[in-house]
Structure formats: C-alpha cells, structure tokens
Structure 1
C-alpha cells in the first residue's frame, strides 16, 4: 500500500478507520508521512483523550529528573499536607507515585466518581477523597482516569507552578511544539462538547476551576505533536541534541511492570505507557477513539494518529503495523 492508497482506504472506510483525522510519522528523524482527513490540517489539534496520560508520565519523569520529586516511591500524601484524611482511612498513607503511574493505586467504590469530581472546585482534591480503602495496597491493576488527576496535583505542589506551565516550559516548547493554553469552562455542557465535538480545537488543555489541567484526559494535540513526543521517547530523551528527559527514567517508564488482562489485549504496562508485545520494542500511549502515540524502536519510527469521537475504538497498533508502516517504507 502506498500513500495514495492509504488515503483512499481511510477516506472510503465505513468501519473503525472512518474517524481518522491525521497521521504523522517520523522515521530516522525525518517526516515519513503527513496526511489528513475530514477537513483537518497538519497543525490542527484535537482532544486526544487518554494519550494525555502518556504525557503525564513524561512530566512526572522530568519533575523527578529536576529533583522536585524524590523518587517514584515517594508517598502521595507527602505532597498534600493540607488535605484532611477521612476518619478511619489508613491505606491512603501508603499510596506512592509508582502506584499512580502503574494504575495499581487503590480506590473506594466500584466505579469512578465522574459527577462528583467534574463538578467540584478542585478535581485533584475531590478524587483524593476516593483514594485508599479498606483492602489496602493489593497491587491489582485498576484503570482509573480520574486517579491520574492526583499526579497533576503532585507536580503543582512539587514545582510550585501550574502543571500546564511546567509542561509548556519543560516539554512542549523545548520540543518546538506550540504552547498549550488552559480551557477553563468546566460546565457539564462544555465538558460534554469538549469530548464529543468533531471539529479542530485550539492548542488547549482542559482545566478545573483552579486552573489545574485534567491529567488523565482532554489534552489537545495534533498527530504531529504526538509523533514528535514519540520521537523523544525513541531517541532516549533527547531532541536536536538537547536532553529533555533522562534515559534512565524512560527505560523505567517503558519497562513492563504489569501484565494486563483480556480487556486490554493482554498487553504489558509500564508507567501509563503500553508495551503491546513481549518480544518487540514497540510502545504506545493509547486513548479512546483511536488516538495514539506509537513508538517502534526496531523500525526507528514514531507515529501520531488522531481520531474524532467514535466508541469502542481503543487500540490502533494493529492498524499502524498492517497499513501505515508499509506506506512509511515506500516514502523513506
């Protein structure tokens, strides 16, 4: 398949690929593919959903490198001395940053408290109310989008600046990417529109009424942004000869810490990044609707892909490997 055939394939698709808006690939530090659909242009941004988590893992690493965080085993409650722990709650004192990064932090209740958190004045402090519980630290994987919000609070407490500013100053702008601005209207209607709207967005990041960004979802990026971030991971933490994040942390971030179950395709999980295969150096930050940062160290390629809201599309790894990589080989 060549570039023209891929473009036509996606344009004519009525299935899972029909919502793809952008694909941008970097190979050998050069642009290998740049294509768009549905009226999107290369520099348009959109809500990339849970790919946001992969970016947060990088920000945690940068904060660690700079000494703002002592280690990934530092206790979460070290950063919130002003938080009033609920009477009888003990487990919360044992939760570490590593638990957040590996999705093994324990939470009360069977489901995520979206309404309570997303209508609160501080999303971070609202979700802290659900951290812990009677079962203690079990090591069980529990995918918790709201739980990652605590990581944004930790970065702000540790660095003394807003998470979005820390991201701009230490990740986006050093990579030559546009500065993000906060999207601050947190009404129920606006939150729904932010998730469902299929039009290009600004380079923005959803934020709670305190100006703290949503750490698990609703960062807006282009496929190019994601490919550049993927290239940073591919190159061991450097960009144009400048070190952005330590190679030591990246190795730890990508190391499989947990084996996931059937719901997640039996993939391995590092720090908010997936390793789809046991025997291949392929890694991904994956979001709903097929948004993805795909990194293949064996092929030395990074791919960013965006997609408008479409339910039950989670993993684009197979599509990239069956369709996109062959096109990249033809264009390099």
Structure 2
C-alpha cells in the first residue's frame, strides 16, 4: 500500500509543482504546489521525445513512413552532400529512435544535459556535422539531436508541422485541446524538448501507453508499436535504466528478467518532468518539477514510495 500522507510530505520538501497518480484510469492521488498548477501548461522538456515516438508509430500506421529502417540521408540529401564521413549514410530512423547514431554528442557529459545545438541557426546541420565516435548501431548515447531530426522527418513526409500532425492524430483523439510546441529557426518543431502540456494531459499520454495504444475505446497507435518502442534495447546509464525508442525502460526487481509484471516505462524531462507507466498496477504517474539541479530526484521518490 502506498502511504500517500508520507508521499505528500516528501514532495512538499522538493520543488515539485504537480504530482498525479492514476490507477485503472481514476485519480487516486493529486498534489499541486498551488492552484495555478491545475491549469498551467508545463514545458515537459525531454518528455517531448516520448510523445514524438508515438507520432512515429502513427506515421508508420498511416503509411507516411514505410519503415524505421529507412536511411536518414534519403530525406535530406542536400545536407548529407556536405558530409565527408560516408558512415553517416548508414544512420536510419531506427538509430535515431534508439540514439545509436554513433555521433559524438556529449550531452550527458561535458555539455551537462544541455546541447549547444539550440544556439545554432540550423540544428539539423549542427547535429549531422558532429563526428562519428562509435560504429552506427552499436552504442546508445543520449542525443537530443536525434529527436529533432525525427521531427524534421515527420514534417517532410506528412507535409505538416509536427504539431499539426500531433494535433490531428494524437492530441484531438486524446481530448488534449491546449498545448504549445516550440520550433527552431528553420520552423521545425523542437523534437527534443519543445512541447508544453497540462499535467492532466500528460496523464492521457501515459494512459494511452498503459492501454497499449487505445484510448476511450479508440485505437490511436498500434499495439505492436507500443511494445516495440517500450522494449529495453540498450543500457548505457545505470542511474536511469534501459533505453527503448525514445522511452526509458526499467525493472521493478533487478534480480528478475523483463516481463509484464516486472517492467515500468517512463518519459523523463530535464528539471524532473515525468510520465511513468506501471503496467502491473495499471498505474500512470505524472510529475512536473523545477528541480534543475537533480532531474532524477523525482524518479527516486517514485522508486522509494510507489515502485516497491
């Protein structure tokens, strides 16, 4: 049993702005730092990446994309003409989704969780000009540039801004009416961290994943895509867990194998933004925070109080 009184005391000590727990589609715990948080649109930072993953799945189902194994250069031949390293021609959508592109991108290293690509007039160019550090497909390294390129691919193949595509095929079906999606100087929606949502609408995203792509009895994205995108592919960061396709994946019990009873998935954004799905308990947890000095602190609170 979750001790919600203790949980609330823990949350109040930290810069958590909202903390929602839903089970079987019903709210069982809600905390808001103040009344303004009820309707506030939160910048969900890298939780944007997980929403983007859903959009890729929808694009596949709607035949805007034929495969995740298409080479990235086939969408942006002009940009790749400038590349001297032919190994970059091997990078596919799959490598972007799993962040196994092989590029030197020290986002979780010397850049300290902040990729300087945001200052570049052409983010795509900045990312693709990074040197190859690992053979493509062999090593997961956190790279927000991958997500931005995915957003650009969606814009290219759908002939819609990513936010338009999301609104038509994801947000409207989920009943999400208020959102904002920042874009770069090239008018591409920021796939890495640009989405702004209400906490209650973040719950809907989590509920969609929990229900294997169905919401309000309507199929929004295929069950196969949910299973594929939330599978554990690479473990690079012990403190966070495994990486799927723009979703983090972890075990409840480290001693046992991954299975339905022993797995949870989550979207994680800088500053402590979270959408956590716990299939075993039919539970979705959403956190918005301003804990920029330790983005993993809310995850530790969840692990200590709920994932037991």
**Both structures adopt the same fold (TM-score exceeding 0.5):** yes
**Cα deviations across residues 293-326 of structure 1 (Å, max 9, x unaligned)?**
1001000011111001421222533422433579
Deviation at 1:134? 7.0
**Cα deviations across residues 1-37 of structure 1 (Å, max 9, x unaligned)?**
65455434422x1xxxx11111122211222222200
Deviation at 1:135? 5.0
Deviation at 1:99? 0.6
Q: Which residue of 1 aligns with 2:30?
A: 34
Alignment of 1:271 with 2:272, yes or no, is no
Deviation at 1:179? 3.9
Q: Residue 177 and residue 87 in structure 1: after superposition, are their counterparts in 2 closer, same or farther (change >3 A)?
A: closer
Q: Which residue of 1 aligns with 2:84?
A: 88
Structure 2: which 5+ runs fail to align?
252-256
Q: Which residue of 2 aligns with 1:322?
A: 304
Q: Which residue of 2 aligns with 1:52?
A: 48
Deviation at 1:225? 1.7
Higher mean alpha-carbon deviation, 310-319 vs 165-174, is at 310-319
- Asked if the contact 1:173–1:179 (Cα under 8 Å) also holds between the matched residues in 2, the reply is no
Q: Residue 114 and residue 236 in structure 1: after superposition, are their counterparts in 2 closer, same or farther (change >3 A)?
A: closer
Count of aligned residue pairs for this structure pair = 294
Q: Which residue of 1 aligns with 2:11?
A: 10
- Asked if the contact 1:34–1:42 (Cα under 8 Å) also holds between the matched residues in 2, the reply is no
- What is the correspondence of 1:140-219 to structure 2 with a 5 Å cutoff? 140-180=139-179, 204-219=180-195
Higher mean alpha-carbon deviation, 161-170 vs 74-83, is at 74-83
Distance 1:235 1:138 in 2: 30
Distance 1:31 1:66 in 2: 33
Alignment of 1:129 with 2:129, yes or no, is yes
Structure 1: which 5+ runs fail to align?
181-203, 327-332
- Asked if the contact 2:18–2:30 (Cα under 8 Å) also holds between the matched residues in 1, the reply is yes
Task: Please report the TM-score for the alignment, with normalisation by the length of structure 2.
Answer: 0.87
Task: Please report the TM-score for the alignment, with normalisation by the length of structure 1.
Answer: 0.81
Q: Which residue of 2 aligns with 1:233?
A: 209
Q: Which residue of 1 aligns with 2:275?
A: 293
